[in-house]
């Protein structure tokens, strides 16, 4: 009888540890990731000169950890672009705001007890929510509109402040794979810019900033 009790106790102990291990694995399956970056990229035109725009962007992501090293993340971001350029109409100052939805696959590598290297690779879709060209004598809004798609990579050096909170430095690089089309609505008719037929996409947008990760 004593032997049976010991066996039952041993089985209970194993079951308890197995359940506890599962709970520990499930405890931090999700992370909240946020980062802000500044950078620069090239606006590629097909029928007009290319020009550079400065970038000020931020993203909030929900990250799911399906193994110890590999994760998947998605969320929402905002990217504000601004800079000077010129085309066949004249010199201009360009402002554009983009709403971005990324889908990223990430991998983590432990460098030391408190430092982790995180890399990411994925795709995004983005939509123009504001677009304005300011020329010397007039301004024109909503010249381009709609959605386009692209690919991005990321690299983060994270420092673990506590068991569930980390901060670090983040690098992002992205390029559009599809074009923004010119908006040929009524608002562009009979304006100096209406005769320009072109497509655009952003390439070689590189940015650097601060990132945080909070385990949920």
- pLDDT digit string (tens) for the chain, length 216 residues: 444 444 444 444 444 444 444 444 445 689 999 999 999 999 999 888 999 999 999 999 999 988 777 899 999 999 999 999 988 888 999 999 999 999 999 998 888 889 999 999 999 999 999 999 999 888 888 888 899 999 999 999 999 999 889 999 999 999 999 999 887 764 555 566 655 667 899 999 999 999 999 998
Token pair 């995004």 in the structure block, residue? 124
Q: Which pLDDT belongs to residue 77?
A: 96
Q: Which residues contact residue 145 at a Cβ distance below 8 angstroms, ignoring those fewer than 6 apart?
A: 128, 131, 180, 181, 183
Task: Give the model's pLDDT for residue 138.
Answer: 86
User: 126, 152, 19: which is closest to 73 by C-alpha?
Assistant: 152
Q: What is the pLDDT of residue 29?
A: 83
So where are the chain's domains?
A: 29-215
Name the one residue in this structure whose structure tokens are 């499930």: 26
- Per-residue model confidence (pLDDT) at position 64: 93
**Phi and psi for 142 in degrees, rounded to 5?**
55, 45
pLDDT for residue 9 = 42
Query: Among 66, 43, 28, 39, which Cα is nearest to 154's?
Result: 39
Of 126, 148, 116, 149, the closest CA to residue 59 belongs to 126
State the pLDDT at residue 68. 75
User: Looking at residue 66, what is its pLDDT?
Assistant: 81
Quick one: tokens of 14?
């194993």
Q: Output the pTM of the full model.
A: 0.81
3-state class (DSSP) for residue 21: helix
Please, which residues bridge with residue 38 across strands? Answer: 56, 208
For residue 14, the model assigns a pLDDT of: 47
CB 185 within 8 A of CB 194: no
Cα–Cα–Cα angle for 54, 86, 95, rounded to 5 degrees: 40
Which of the listed CATH numbers 1.10.10.60, 1.10.540.10, 3.30.565.10, 2.40.160.20 matches domain 29-215? 2.40.160.20
Predicted pLDDT at 13:
45
- Mapping DSSP onto H, E and C, the string for 176-190 reads ECCCEEECCCHHHCC
């Amino acid at each position: 009888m004593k032997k049976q009790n010991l066996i039952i106790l041993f089985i209970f102990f194993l079951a308890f540890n197995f359940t506890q291990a599962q709970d520990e694995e499930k405890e931090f399956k999700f992370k909240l990731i946020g980062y802000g970056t500044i950078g620069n990229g090239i606006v590629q035109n097909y029928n007009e000169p290319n020009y550079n725009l400065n970038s000020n962007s931020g993203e909030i992501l929900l990250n799911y950890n399906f193994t110890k090293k590999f994760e998947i993340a998605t969320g929402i971001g905002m990217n504000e672009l601004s800079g000077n350029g010129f085309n066949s109409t004249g010199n201009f100052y360009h402002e554009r705001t983009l709403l971005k939805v990324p889908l990223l696959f990430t991998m983590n590598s432990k460098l030391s007890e408190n430092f982790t290297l995180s890399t990411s690779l994925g795709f995004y879709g983005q939509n123009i929510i504001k677009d304005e060209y300011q020329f010397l004598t007039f301004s024109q809004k909503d010249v381009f509109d709609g959605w386009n798609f692209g690919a991005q990579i990321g690299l983060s050096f994270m420092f673990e402040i506590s068991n569930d909170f980390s901060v670090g430095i983040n690098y992002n690089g992205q390029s559009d794979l599809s074009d923004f089309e010119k908006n040929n609505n009524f608002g562009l008719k009979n304006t100096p810019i209406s005769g320009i037929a072109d497509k655009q996409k952003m390439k070689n947008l590189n940015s650097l900033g601060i990132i945080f990760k909070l385990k949920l």
